[in-house]
Amino acid sequence: MPAVRPQMAASVSPVLAMRQDGRRAFGLSFPTLGWADSLAMLEAAAELRVGCRAVTFLTLSGLLRALINPLYRARLGGHVLLPADRAVTVLLRLVRPRAAIASLAPDRFVPSLLTFMDHRRRILLIGADRSRLEAARRRLKAHAPWHDISTLAMTGPFPGRAASPLDAALEATAADMVIADARDEAEERRLEDFLAFRHDGLLLLASEIFGAAGKNRD
């Protein structure tokens, strides 16, 4: 893992502190940031490369689930949470009226994040559907051609704790960022547990971008 430069650590520390001490709403911690600040926050987290940092794009259904399911709410407590639809954004604005909160739909935000990252990144897309993976790879590559974007089709169940083809893919690509097309929350949880001690970088739980890529082939 590359050493963290002093100037990089100085710029990243306030961002991570903001994430950890973020304002709470509905029992969850949100960065309560606008679009540009959210891009900068994730770029800084990607630079740090210390541990696996999961990013969840929270929809209204996810928020409602967190309100009634304490185990799911506890799991989200360790994630960077970004509002993924207008309903969540409106609710957050009601409880934090002075905060600049944007709706960060992943099908628009993730391509923008890759474009915002001007240094070359190694990105691994994983999921069960090869056609969705390839469509997403083409779309993201069109937005930011300077990044190395690889795909891994998980033909069996998403990994548990045992070794899997994902181990080999992580080693071969030295991925800075993993973007997952998980089919449900159980797959997200297994993937997060698997990557916890294997991946230093961002894990974007953003299955929406794969569906969007299939519909809009740039």
For the segment 106-131, what is each residue's pLDDT rounded down to a tens digit?
Answer: 999 999 999 999 889 999 999 989 99
Contacts 24+ apart (CB under 8 A), 158-166: 158/128, 158/182, 158/187, 158/190, 158/191, 158/194, 159/190, 159/191, 159/194, 160/190, 160/193, 160/194, 161/193, 161/194, 164/194, 166/126, 166/194, 166/198
Q: Per the structure block, which two tokens stand in for 99?
A: 């905060």
pLDDT at 138: 94
Mean pLDDT to the nearest integer, 177-184: 89
Asked if residue 49 belongs to a domain, the reply is yes
User: Rounded to 10 degrees, what is the CA torsion of 203, 122, 37, 200?
Assistant: 50
pLDDT at 48: 77
Asked if residue 120 belongs to a domain, the reply is yes
Q: Tell me: pLDDT of 13 over 50.
A: no
The whole-chain average pLDDT of the chain stands at 81
pLDDT at 106: 93
Asked if residue 169 belongs to a domain, the reply is yes
Q: Tell me: pLDDT of 132 over 90.
A: yes
Beta bridge partners of 178: 124, 203
Is residue 164 within 8 Å of residue 136, measured between CB atoms? no
pLDDT at 61: 93
Of residues 97 and 137, the one with the higher pLDDT is: 137
Asked if residue 1 belongs to a domain, the reply is no
Asked if residue 149 belongs to a domain, the reply is yes
Cβ atoms within 10 Å, residue 46: 18
Asked if residue 12 belongs to a domain, the reply is yes
pLDDT at 56: 94
Q: What is the domain count for the chain?
A: 1
Is residue 95 within 8 Å of residue 25, measured between CB atoms? yes
Q: Given the structure tokens 């559907």, which residue do they identify? A: 129
Q: Tell me: pLDDT of 3 over 50.
A: no
Q: Per the structure block, which two tokens stand in for 182?
A: 């998980």
Residue 202: which residues within 8 A CB-CB, separation 6 or more?
A: 42, 45, 46, 52, 53, 55, 176, 177, 178
Burial tier of 124 (Cβ tally within 10 Å: 0-12, 13-18, 19+): buried
Structure confidence by residue, pLDDT tens digits, 154-172? 876 556 555 577 877 877 7
Is residue 54 within 8 Å of residue 205, measured between CB atoms? yes
Asked if residue 102 belongs to a domain, the reply is yes
Three-state secondary-structure class, residue 3: coil
Provide the residue range defining the domain that includes 96: 6-215
Mean pLDDT to the nearest integer, 52-78: 92
Is residue 32 within 8 Å of residue 92, measured between CB atoms? yes
pTM score, whole prediction: 0.81
Quote the Cα angle for 21-87-15, to 5°. 25
Q: Tell me: pLDDT of 204 over 50.
A: yes
pLDDT at 215: 59
Report residue 214's pLDDT band, with 50, 70 and 90 as the boundaries: low
Q: Tell me: pLDDT of 60 over 90.
A: yes
Half-sphere exposure of 88 (CA within 13 A, CB side): 27
Counting DSSP H helices and E strands in the chain, the numbers are 10, 8
